[in-house]
Amino acid sequence: MLPEAAHPERARKKIFMRNALTLSGSIRSDSLNARLARAFGEKLAQAGANLTHVDLADYPLELFNADLEAQNGEPDNAVALARLFGNADIIFIASPEYNGSVSPLLKNTLDWISRQRTHKPFARATFGIGAASPGSMGGISGLRHLREILGSVGALVIPKTLGVGNAGKVLTESGRFCDPALEERADEIAEMMHSIQRRM
């Protein structure tokens, strides 16, 4: 919990409701990254954000191919996601690490979204990134790639990342943190995301 009572400045920030969006780069049932996205979303909501959780299973997209784009135009799901991104002040992405990089689902989704100029999907939000892995390293190699990808589309990504190792033990099935040190780190990152706001 953010100790708002002891920090009037933080409590005051709640007046400005921010739109926060969380998403997981895995749609696997019982995805650890979905747990992380939910747990972190709760932190953002506790800090006063108006939270939307995006389940990418609700936005299926074909594997990007410029021919498809040329023939059919922008898929509705890419437009819908770009609009959600463009309206968010804070976006937290939890990505699985696959062979040292991000999941193909997440990369494909970001590629489609990056084609949307109208909604300026990466121009407004402050991005936070995290990864949950059953291994001990917490997906940090994948997070380096995710930072580069988001940087290449002009997104503002905060410096701290939330790599969660042994994730099955420190995130509950219902999507809560159950490790005090991890929860403290999540609080710090949520607070940093709230305080860093891009000037339009």
Ligand X SMILES: Cc1cc2nc3c(=O)[nH]c(=O)nc-3n(C[C@H](O)[C@H](O)[C@H](O)COP(=O)(O)O)c2cc1C
- Chain positions contacting ligand X, by CB under 6 A: 26, 28, 31-33, 96-100, 132-135, 137, 139
- Bridge partners, residue 162, by sequence: 130
Record the tokens describing residue 156, joined without a space. 């503002």
CB atoms within 10 A of CB 107: 18
Kindly state the smallest distance separating residue 27's Cβ from ligand X, in Å: 8
β strands within the chain, DSSP E: 19-24, 50-54, 90-94, 126-132, 156-164
Q: CB-wise, 135 or 154, nearer to ligand X?
A: 135
Smallest gap from Cβ 120 to ligand X, in A, equals 28
For ligand X, the closer CB: 31 or 114: 31
Pairing of strands 90-94, 50-54: unpaired
Rounded least distance, CB 134 to ligand X, Å: 5
Question: Which CB atom, from 47 or from 167, has the smaller least distance to ligand X?
Answer: 167
**Shortest distance in whole angstroms from residue 87 CB to ligand X:** 25
CA-atom Rg of the chain in angstroms: 16
* Residue closest to 127 by CA, chosen among 79, 90, 162, 102: 90
Give the nearer residue to ligand X in terms of CB position, either 34 or 44: 34
Q: Which is nearer to ligand X, 64 or 98 (CB)?
A: 98
Taking the least distance from each CB to ligand X, the nearer of 42 and 97 is: 97
Q: CA 17, 26, 173 angle in degrees (round to 5)?
A: 75
In whole angstroms, the minimum distance from the beta carbon of 112 to ligand X comes to 20
Nearest distance in Å: CB 141, ligand X: 7
Question: What 3-state DSSP class applies to 92?
Answer: strand
Ordered alpha helix ranges (H), 118-179: 140-152, 167-170
The answer to whether 109 touches 80, Cβ cutoff 8 Å, is: no
d(Cα 81, Cα 59) in Å, to the nearest integer? 8
